[in-house]
Amino acid sequence: MRKMMGAAIATSFGRPLILSDVAIPSPGPGELLVKVAACGVCHTDLHAVDGDWPVKPKLPFIPGHEVVGHVAAVGQGVTQHREGDAIGVAWLHDACGACEYCGTGRETLCLGQHNTGYSIDGGYAEYMLAVADYAVKLPRGLDLLSAAPILCAGVTAYKGIKETDTKPGDWLAISGVGGLGHVAVQYAKAMGLHVLAIDVSDDKLALARRLGADMTLHAAVPDLAADVSRRTGGMHGALITAVSAPAFAQCLSLLRPGGTMSMVGLPPGSFALPIFEVVLKRLTVRGSIVGTRQDLAEALMFVAEGKVSAQVESRPLSEINGIFAELKAGRVRGRIVLQMH
């Protein structure tokens, strides 16, 4: 087996990634060596590389957390995976498994978790390590390129919709029809919801209509909340995938009494919470962070059954810095996926 592999490495915050050859890691006890087939490019990768968040990755590191590939080698004690298995590696690289959050099905809140492509080297490389208990087996016959975005964008959108507590027949607003939003539209329709898609791009609104959205509105429409209320009675739920702080206040205004807003977008800044309106309308404002292993398994089944399909564009790892520039400029529709082999 080769001893070196190609990788894209962050060596300083806010600077282009360095394409370099590094040593292929060896799996320790309970670990897998994954031969990466593809890795989706997520906006979180940009935040990681630019050092945007209060807890920053330790430099140098390899980004990427929408990873699909095959098991190349197994470490001591691994019995649930074998060489050649198709697997996925998500943002939740591993958790402690013993705290109150892990014990109650809320492992994404574990204070002892590690995150792929952030605190642990990720999938912008030909090989990477994964913890066997947290690597997910992919359904048989799944196309790896189209499955890659489900490891973050898909499961994040799916979990975010679940957090709105909406039921079949309810109205759900989805703000932002990008990498997360375009799969969110499909998940929502597959879950029996009526969908209002909101964006600032006419092209993305057209995409939302093609994917089944019942109504689309430009975010800059005057009196948007009044229009939505008149036509639908207001939203039962709202999912914000947009990386725009004004979208949060706008979506809150769309909710009918008793509605729930689920937030997954992470723009810088904040928004004002109108206490009087929230109290009198009994609104719920809820953060939603990716999803558990069970959420991911459910999200992948929608794809395996043909109900959800990510819009992907395959690009080589060598183009990653140009892809980041496109992502920052808002020119990416759907999801770009890095193909390694």
**Which tens digits make up the pLDDT trace of 170-213?**
999 999 998 899 999 999 999 999 999 999 999 999 999 999 99
The model's confidence at residue 132, banded by pLDDT at 50, 70 and 90, is very high
> Are 128 and 23 contained in the same domain?
yes
Quick one: 180 and 71 in the same domain? Answer: no
Distance CA 161, CA 164 (A): 5
CATH number at residue 70: 3.90.180.10
Instruction: Provide the pLDDT for residue 179.
Output: 86
Is 132 in a helix, a strand, or coil? helix
pLDDT at 268: 77
pTM for the structure as a whole: 0.93
In 3D space, the residue among 117, 237, 103, 70 whose CA is nearest the CA of residue 170 turns out to be 237
| CA distances to 20, 227, 250, 263, 285 from 278, in Å | 51, 20, 13, 16, 9
* Domain count along the chain: 2
Final residue in a domain of this structure, among 254, 270, 287: 287
CA gap 316, 126 in Å, rounded: 11
Helix (H) or strand (E) holding 70: strand 66-74
For residue range 6-64, what is the model confidence (pLDDT) as tens digits? 999 999 999 999 999 999 999 999 999 999 999 999 989 999 999 988 899 999 999 99
Residues 195 and 109 in one domain: no
- Calculate the alpha carbon distances from 289 to 91, 101, 334 in Å: 10, 13, 20
Tens digits of per-residue pLDDT, 70-128?
999 999 999 999 999 999 999 999 999 999 999 999 999 999 999 999 999 999 999 99
Residue 202 structural domain:
154-287
**Same domain flag for 171 and 248:** yes
88 and 143 both lie in a single domain: yes
Across the chain, mean pLDDT equals 96
CA 95 – CA 102 distance, rounded (Å): 7
Same domain, 23 and 146: yes
Confidence at residue 147, expressed as pLDDT on a 0 to 100 scale = 95
**Tell me, what CATH number does 249's domain have?**
3.40.50.720
**Would the pLDDT of 297 be above 90?**
yes
Q: What is the pLDDT of residue 267?
A: 83
Q: What percent of the chain has pLDDT over 70?
A: 100
Q: Where are the alpha helices (DSSP H) in 95-201?
A: 100-103, 144-147, 153-162, 181-190
Q: Tell whether 258 and 165 lie within a shared domain.
A: yes
- If asked whether residues 232 and 328 sit together in one domain, one would say no
Pair (73, 164) in one structural domain? no
Q: Are residues 188 and 317 in the same domain?
A: no
CA distances from 310 to 207, 291, 338 (A): 12, 17, 14
Query: Of 249, 272, 287, at which residue does a domain stop?
Result: 287
